[in-house]
């Protein structure tokens, strides 16, 4: 069973796909459903995806596919007002604002996903325009971005290959913090940050790897680890 908002969203997506062949943006969906933020759209899309009404197409921005449409009675009647059927003379999109309800407090936000970062030997970091949906509870104050972990040198810290490292932007670090370190402005790695005399030491969390030592001018801190996301297939 779908809620009224879920039903309205899938109808809006289906109508847009039929009209243009392109799924609507999150901003367009937010405005069409009269929501206050895009986090509400994320929750609705996740719910529709879990119920196998839609699916996200991999490696494509804002790409959604409608797998099936709800049956006539497949909608939860939340209140008398929202249970009223839509007029056949009006499109679902034109009905959306009539059934809007206050959304819960934001619990999901989008942060930039900037490619892969080595948790082994340094690899070149690269930028991308992708975004990652993250539970707000995993993030604190400040500006954040995400990197996909590549390698196994941080496994003893619980950071595995394929995890998403959530990074708080900052350019300073204290000894013992896990940071994104940019080496000679070319390569980035995720390691424990420590000072060793006049040198900077980047320590792995895997006994199979050796620490890396650099002169301070060779290393720039790009952020500190704030959290992790892991997907289970």
Whether residues 21 and 70 share a domain: the answer is: yes
Question: Which range among 21-35, 64-78, 125-139, 199-213 has the greatest average pLDDT?
Answer: 199-213
In a domain, 102, yes or no: no
Asked if residue 139 and residue 52 are part of one domain, the reply reads: no
Weakest mean pLDDT among 72-76, 96-100, 162-166, 202-206: 96-100
Q: Is 14 within the bounds of a domain?
A: yes
Residue 70 within any structural domain of the chain: yes
Radius of gyration of the chain (CA): 23
pTM (predicted TM-score): 0.53
Pick the catalytic residue from 39, 133, 150, 153.
153
- Is residue 225 assigned to a domain? yes
A 10 A CB-CB count for 163 gives: 19
64 has pLDDT over 80: yes
Among 30, 57, 78, where does a domain finish? 78
What count of residues does the chain have? 233
- Domain contains 85: no
Looking at residues 63-79, what average pLDDT do you find? 65
Residue 2 pLDDT:
74
Q: Which domain-ending residue is among 58, 78, 98? A: 78
Q: What is the pLDDT of residue 93?
A: 45
Task: Residue 36: give the domain boundaries.
Answer: 4-78
Q: How many domains does the chain have?
A: 2
Query: Which residue is catalytic, options 30, 38, 191, 224?
Result: 191
Is there a domain that residue 65 lies in? yes
Predicted pLDDT at 16: 85
Residue 224 known to be catalytic = no
**pLDDT for the residue numbered 80:** 34
Q: Is 44 exposed, middle or buried (0-12, 13-18, 19+ CB in 10 A)?
A: buried
Residue 150 falls in the annotated catalytic set: no
Of the pLDDT bands very low, low, confident and very high (cuts 50, 70, 90), residue 233 is low
pLDDT, averaged across the chain? 78
Mean local confidence (pLDDT), 172-200: 92
Average pLDDT over residues 176-190: 89
How far apart CA 63 and CA 11 sit, in angstroms, is: 16
Give the separation between CA 223 and CA 130, rounded to whole angstroms: 19
């Amino acid at each position: 069973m779908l809620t009224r908002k879920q039903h309205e969203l899938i109808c809006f997506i289906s109508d847009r796909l039929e009209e243009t062949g392109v799924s609507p943006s999150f901003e367009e969906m937010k405005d069409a459903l009269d929501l206050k933020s895009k986090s509400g759209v994320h929750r609705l899309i996740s719910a529709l995806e879990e119920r196998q009404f839609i699916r996200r197409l991999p490696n494509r921005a804002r790409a959604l596919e409608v797998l099936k449409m709800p049956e006539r009675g497949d909608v939860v009647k939340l209140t008398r007002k929202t249970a009223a059927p839509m007029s056949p003379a009006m499109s679902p999109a034109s009905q959306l604002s009539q059934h809007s309800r206050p959304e819960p407090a934001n619990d999901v936000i989008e942060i930039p996903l900037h490619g892969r970062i080595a948790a082994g030997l340094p690899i070149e970091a690269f930028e991308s325009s992708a975004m990652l949906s993250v539970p707000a509870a995993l993030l604190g104050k400040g500006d954040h971005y995400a990197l996909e972990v590549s390698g196994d040198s941080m496994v003893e810290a619980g950071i595995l290959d394929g995890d998403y490292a959530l990074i708080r932007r900052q350019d300073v670090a204290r000894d013992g913090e896990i940071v994104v370190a940019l080496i000679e402005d070319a390569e980035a790695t995720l390691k424990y940050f420590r000072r060793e005399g006049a040198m900077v030491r980047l320590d792995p969390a895997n006994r199979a790897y050796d620490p890396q030592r650099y002169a301070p001018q060779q290393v720039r801190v790009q952020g500190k680890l704030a959290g992790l996301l892991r997907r289970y297939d």
